[in-house]
Amino acid sequence: MTCLARLFAALAVLALSVQPVAAQSILRDAETEALLEDMADPLVAAAGLRPEDVDIVLVNDSSINAFVAGGQVVYIHSGLINAADTANEVQGVIAHELGHITGGHIIRSSEGIGEATNITLLSMLLGVGAALAGAGDAAIGLIMAGQRAALGKFLAFSRVQESAADAAGVEYLSKAGISGRGSLSFFKKLQNQEFRYGFSQDDDAAFTRTHPLSGDRIARLREEYIRDAAWEAPDDPVLQARFERIKAKLYGYQAEPARTLRAYPEYLTSVPARYARAYAYHKDARIELALAEADALLAMAPDDPYFLELKGQVLLESGKPEEALPALRQASELTGSHPLIASMFGHALIATEDQANHEEAERVLRAAVARDRYNPFAWYQLGVVYAARGDMARARLASAEQQVIRRQYALALRSAQAAEAALPEGSPDWLRAQDIGLQARAELERLRERR
């Protein structure tokens, strides 16, 4: 390859747009969301934010990670829950991520990117000048040096942000009266991961990282935590028990059944063990064993809505919707019609294929979407009810709702237009169809401009 060709190859790489990370699947579960909310609320308040404005979202990803990506939303990977031993460890992570939110780090990251881009552009201009003068090798060297300098600049900026989030996390844990022991123990887990995978811990390696070295963070944070009045505060035993339930439930849901049964053998009769095995048996189509575990849980706590939800889910998904109704109805009532549980209850009512159940299904599902509009499954089920009743205008509106949530903007636009044409002009549903149409059209236009 000639020097000039190599130059333009380098320029082509630099010119490539950074593509957005592919959307990861979100895990939604009523019990898990309630726990994460209760774990986060005191920290959110300590950060000066309103709990109702901050969401903690569980991402279906086995890696040990958490992040913020704009807005007041903390994303936690399922792998982090699996790696944590205590609720307190997860609270340490949440406190750190809230530090990114209050520090405006996602918004300010454009500053770091901008400085790095300026360095890159300058090196490109110098490289082009050298190439035009016939010094192709020098041009490549200038561009590559500029890339390294730009990367170093951005990584340094990122490390400063991480250190600021660490400091904020210390403050929020202290204000909330929550010990930093969990935060330190989780950093030690990260350090062990770094050792296991051979990541260098020397000072030179620190300059190639987005985060400060875990050892440095542990040393610095330990001094701050042990001085804090909350350092000796005991872990909340109720929160810890709930965390152990959720961890086992998540493991049973995600892991291969054989692995779950090795981790939670049959001689273990605790709530977490039975929870994990119930999901393992259900995944393995061993329905009687799954129901036996659910019934054993209900024998311990007959009015636990999440144990009732489990039994209803196993029955529904094994083709017994009629038998699932009592458990799901009771679970819905006990949780005040939680949108996720109500959605499953509505689905069971429809799955009975008994038209007499459709009126209750519509009522249940409308209550679910009123509390949680971002529930595509509930919208889909509501559309099924409307279509069965012959109300195609509202069936199309329900389709538009779930399609815009799924970012299927072309489909959402067509469904919204069809609904708008058939609904009474000026009615609330007609106005909603217009809103969805405008939103879908704007998103389609934005996507076209990116190309």
For 93, 101, 172, 295, 370, the CA distances from 175, given in Å and listed in that order, are: 16, 17, 5, 42, 35
The residue that leads in pLDDT, 246 or 130, is 246
Instruction: Pick the more confident residue, 315 or 154.
Output: 315
pLDDT at position 139 is 44
The whole-angstrom separation of Cα 450 and Cα 445 is 9
- pLDDT band at residue 303 under the 50/70/90 scheme: very high
Residue 28 has pLDDT above 60, yes or no: yes
Element (H, E) at 77: strand 73-77
Phi, psi dihedral angles at 448 (to 5 degrees): -65, -40
Residue 305 pLDDT exceeds 90 = yes
pLDDT reported for residue 166: 85
Identify the structural domains of the chain with CATH numbers, from first to last: 3-15+21-227 (3.30.2010.10), 391-451 (no CATH)
d(CA 404, CA 20): 19
Instruction: Give the separation between CA 445 and CA 92, rounded to whole angstroms.
Output: 41
pLDDT tens profile 64-88? 888 888 778 999 999 999 999 999 9
Range 42-56 average pLDDT: 94
Contact 221, 180 (CB under 8 A): yes
Task: Express each pLDDT in 31-41 by its tens digit.
Answer: 999 999 999 99
Q: Could you tell me the maximum CA-CA distance found in the chain, to the nearest angstrom?
A: 84
How high does pLDDT run on average in the chain? 82
Sign of dihedral through CA atoms 257, 259, 262, 267? Answer: negative
Structure tokens that stand for 424 in this block: 């009474």
8 Å CB contact between 147 and 124 = no
pLDDT at 110 over 80: no
- Give the full edge-to-edge strand order of the sheet including 26-27: 26-27, 55-59, 73-77, 66-68
Q: Cα-Cα-Cα-Cα dihedral of 403, 408, 414, 416, to 10°? A: 40
- Is 358 within 8 Å of 390 (Cβ atoms)? no
pLDDT of residue 209: 45
114 CB-side CA count, 13 A: 5
193 pLDDT band, cuts 50/70/90, is: confident
pLDDT higher than 90, residue 3: no
In this prediction, residues 420-433 reach a mean pLDDT of 95
Nearest residue to 382 via CA among 367, 400, 395: 395
Is the pLDDT reported for residue 52 higher than 60?
yes
Over residues 302-309, mean pLDDT: 98
- Phi/psi zone of residue 251: left (φ > 0), alpha (ψ -120 to 50 degrees), beta? alpha
Residue 194 has a pLDDT of 67
Cα separation, 125 vs 113, whole angstroms: 18
Mean pLDDT lowest for which of 15-29, 259-273, 393-407?
Answer: 15-29
295: pLDDT strictly greater than 70: yes
Q: Is residue 131 a contact partner of residue 1, using CB atoms and an 8 Å limit?
A: no
Helix (H/G/I), strand (E/B), else coil: 75 = strand
Structure tokens at 403: 């399609």
pLDDT of residue 103: 79
Selected residue with higher pLDDT from 123 and 144 = 144
pLDDT tens digits along 322-361? 999 999 999 999 999 999 999 999 999 999 999 999 999 9
- Predicted confidence (pLDDT) per residue in 133-184, tens digit: 444 454 455 445 444 443 343 334 344 567 788 889 889 999 999 999 998 8
pLDDT of residue 125: 45
Confidence class for position 106, pLDDT limits 50, 70, 90: low
pLDDT at 186 over 70: yes
pLDDT at residue 157 in the model: 39
The pLDDT value recorded for residue 198 is 55
Question: Which neighbouring-strand residues pair with 67?
Answer: 75
User: Read out DSSP for 308-370?
Assistant: HHHHHHHHHHTT-HHHHHHHHHHHHHHTTS-HHHHHHHHHHHHHTT-GGGHHHHHHHHHHHHH
**Amino acid 76: pLDDT:** 94
When mean pLDDT is compared over 16-30, 188-202, 264-278, the highest value belongs to: 264-278
* Separation of alpha carbons 376 and 28, rounded Å: 12
Give the residue carrying structure tokens 């300058």.
Answer: 122
pLDDT at position 24:
58
What integer pLDDT is reported at residue 213 of this predicted model?
A: 57
Compute the residue count for the chain: 451
Hey, what are 68's tokens? Answer: 């913020």
Q: What is the mean pLDDT of residues 240-249?
A: 97
Q: Are 101 and 49 in contact (CB under 8 A)?
A: yes
d(CA 262, CA 251): 12
The three-state secondary structure class of 235 is coil
Identify the pLDDT of residue 192.
Answer: 75
Segment among 41-55, 201-215, 270-284, 356-370 with least mean pLDDT: 201-215
Can you tell me whether residue 60 is helix, strand or coil? coil
CA angle 33, 38, 41 (to 5 degrees): 115
Both tokens of 228, joined, read 């804090």
pLDDT at 12: 41
